[in-house]
Chains A and B, each alone.
Chain A
Amino acid sequence: MSELTSLTLKAALEGLRAKQFSSVEITRALIAAVEAARPLNAFVLETPEKALEMAAASDARIASGDAGALEGAPLGIKDLFCTEGVRSTAASKILGNFIPEYESTVTANLFGDGAVMLGKLNLDEFAMGSSNETSAFGNVINPWKSASGGNRALTPGGSSGGSAAAVAADLCLGATATDTGGSIRQPAAFTGTVGIKPTYGRCSRWGIVAFASSLDQAGPIAKTVEDAAILLTSMAGHDPKDSTSLDVETPDWAPFVGKSVKGLRIGVPKEYRVDGMPAEIEKLWQDGIDWLKEAGAEIVEVSLPHTKYALPAYYIVAPAEASSNLARYDGMRYGLRAEGGNLTEIYENTRAEGFGQEVKRRILIGTYVLSAGYYDAYYLKAQKVRRRIADDFDQAWQTCDALLTPTAPSAAFALGERNADPIAMYLNDVFTVTTNLAGLPSISVPAGLDSGGLPLGLQVIGRALDEGTVFSVAGALEKAAGFRAKAERWW
Chain B
Amino acid sequence: MTETFTLKGRTGDWEIVLGLEVHAQVASNSKLFSGAAVGFGAGPNEQVSLVDAAMPGMLPVLNKYCVEQAVRTGLGLKAQINLKSRFDRKNYFYPDLPQGYQISQFEFPIVGEGEVIVDRIDGTSFTVRIERLHLEQDAGKSIHDLDPKATYVDLNRSGTALMEIVSKPDMRSPEDAAAYVKKLRAILITLGTCDGDMEKGNLRADVNVSVCRPGDYEKFRETGSFSHLGTRCEIKNVNSYRFIQQAIQYEARRQIEILEDGGKVDQETRLYDPTKNETRSMRSKEEAHDYRYFPDPDLLPLVLDPAWVKAIEAGLPELPDAKKARLMSAYGLSAYDASVLTSDGDVAAFFEEAAKGRDAKLVANWTLNDLLGRLGKDGLEITASPISAADIGALVGLIEDGTISGKIARTVFEHMWDGEGAPAAIVEKHGLVQITDTGAIETAVDALIAANPDKPAAVKDKPQAIGWFVGQVMKETGGKANPAAVNEILKAKLGL
> What's the minimum C-beta distance from A479 to chain B, rounded to whole angstroms?
37
Which residues does chain A contribute within 8 Å of B419, judged by CB atoms? none
Cβ of B55 and Cβ of A371 under 8 Å apart?
A: no
Cβ of A367 and Cβ of B56 under 8 Å apart?
A: no
> What's the minimum C-beta distance from B116 to chain A, rounded to whole angstroms?
32
Q: Is the interface of B mostly helix, strand, loop or mixed?
A: loop
Which residues does chain B contribute within 8 Å of A333, judged by CB atoms? 53-54, 98
Cβ of A321 and Cβ of B55 under 8 Å apart?
A: no
Partner of B101, one of A212, A242, A244, A327: A327
Q: Is the interface of A mostly helix, strand, loop or mixed?
A: loop
Of chain A, the residue at the smallest CB distance from B294 is A370
Cβ of B101 and Cβ of A206 under 8 Å apart?
A: no
Which residues does chain A contribute within 8 Å of B153, judged by CB atoms? 332
Interface contacts (Cβ under 8 Å), in number, total 96
Q: How large is the interface on B (under 10, 10 to 19, 20 to 34, 35 or more residues)?
A: 20 to 34
Which residues does chain A contribute within 8 Å of B226, judged by CB atoms? none
Partner of A100, one of B55, B99, B299: B55
> What's the minimum C-beta distance from A437 to chain B, rounded to whole angstroms?
13
Of chain A, the residue at the smallest CB distance from B50 is A102
- Kindly state whether residue B143 has any CB partner on chain A within 8 Å: no
Which residues does chain A contribute within 8 Å of B315, judged by CB atoms? none
Which residues does chain B contribute within 8 Å of A82, judged by CB atoms? 55-57
Cβ of B299 and Cβ of A243 under 8 Å apart?
A: yes
- Kindly state whether residue B495 has any CB partner on chain A within 8 Å: no
Cβ of B59 and Cβ of A241 under 8 Å apart?
A: yes
> CB-defined interface of B452-465 with A at 8 Å, one 1/0 digit per residue?
00000000000000
- Kindly state whether residue A375 has any CB partner on chain B within 8 Å: yes
Which residues does chain A contribute within 8 Å of B151, judged by CB atoms? 343
Which residues does chain A contribute within 8 Å of B56, judged by CB atoms? 82, 88, 90, 95, 98, 100, 209-210, 328
- Kindly state whether residue B100 has any CB partner on chain A within 8 Å: yes
Cα of A138 to Cα of B38 in the assembled complex, Å? 44
- Kindly state whether residue A205 has any CB partner on chain B within 8 Å: yes
Cα of A61 to Cα of B89 in the assembled complex, Å? 46
Cβ of B294 and Cβ of A379 under 8 Å apart?
A: yes
Cβ of A347 and Cβ of B59 under 8 Å apart?
A: no
Cα of A207 to Cα of B50 in the assembled complex, Å? 10
- Kindly state whether residue A101 has any CB partner on chain B within 8 Å: yes
Cβ of A101 and Cβ of B50 under 8 Å apart?
A: yes
> What's the minimum C-beta distance from A400 to chain B, rounded to whole angstroms?
29
Which residues does chain A contribute within 8 Å of B299, judged by CB atoms? 243-244
> CB-defined interface of B212-232 with A at 8 Å, one 1/0 digit per residue?
000000000000000000000
Binding site for A on B (CB under 8 A): 50, 53-62, 89, 91, 93, 95, 98-101, 151, 153, 290, 292-294, 297-300
Identify 14 new A-B residue pairs, CB closer than 8 A, beyond the known A328-B54, A333-B54, A379-B294.
A100-B55, A100-B56, A207-B57, A208-B57, A242-B61, A244-B297, A244-B299, A327-B93, A328-B56, A328-B99, A330-B93, A343-B151, A370-B294, A372-B290
| Top-10 shortest CB links A-B | A327-B100, A213-B297, A370-B292, A214-B297, A328-B54, A207-B57, A209-B56, A82-B57, A372-B290, A208-B57
Binding site for B on A (CB under 8 A): 81-82, 88, 90, 95, 98, 100-102, 104, 205-210, 212-214, 240-244, 320-321, 323-324, 326-328, 330, 332-334, 343, 347, 367, 370-372, 375, 379
Q: List 20 A-B contacts (CB under 8 A).
A: A102-B55, A205-B59, A206-B57, A207-B58, A210-B298, A212-B297, A214-B297, A240-B61, A242-B61, A243-B300, A244-B298, A244-B300, A320-B294, A327-B91, A327-B93, A332-B153, A347-B93, A367-B292, A370-B294, A379-B294
